[in-house]
Copies of this chain bind each other. A is one copy, B any other.
């Protein structure tokens, strides 16, 4: 079987992408992250966008097709002493617009991130996925990821 990859352009997010990105996160009910398109919340998103943009380690990307935002993900490059001082790329907040799923957009975004990691000499790419997202787990395993770890979280007051 051959898979025709959709014509997606991946680029760094810009401030004017924010309304589309917020709408995408607000439509995702699994994570329970409380995202909302309520205009009162927009200042919080703007502030977060500025923080990501100011960080030398973090990059927010969008996938675009025909001028529309169809997906997003974020990367973070970290350095650790372990592994003889190795770098790792953490991929976070991967999201495909709900009406655009099953078209290879997510795979295209993850492959882009992996290529970025290789280009920077990073030897490990990692991410966590909510234990209830079984379809996402199959997706990541198909792409070559191993579910070798447990991801622990603690919400603070």
Determine how many copies of this chain the complex contains: 2
Residue A11 lies at the interface, judged by CB distance under 8 Å to chain B: no
Residue A81 lies at the interface, judged by CB distance under 8 Å to chain B: yes
B153 touches A151 (CB 8 A): no
B118 touches A92 (CB 8 A): no
B93 touches A80 (CB 8 A): yes
- Kindly report which residue of chain B lies nearest to residue A151, judged by CB atoms: B149
B149 touches A150 (CB 8 A): yes
Residue A2 lies at the interface, judged by CB distance under 8 Å to chain B: no
Residue A107 lies at the interface, judged by CB distance under 8 Å to chain B: no
- Give A residues with C-beta under 8 Å from B: 18, 21-22, 25, 31, 33-36, 41, 44-49, 51-52, 55-58, 60, 72, 74, 76, 78-87, 90, 92-93, 114, 117-118, 122-131, 137, 140-141, 143-157
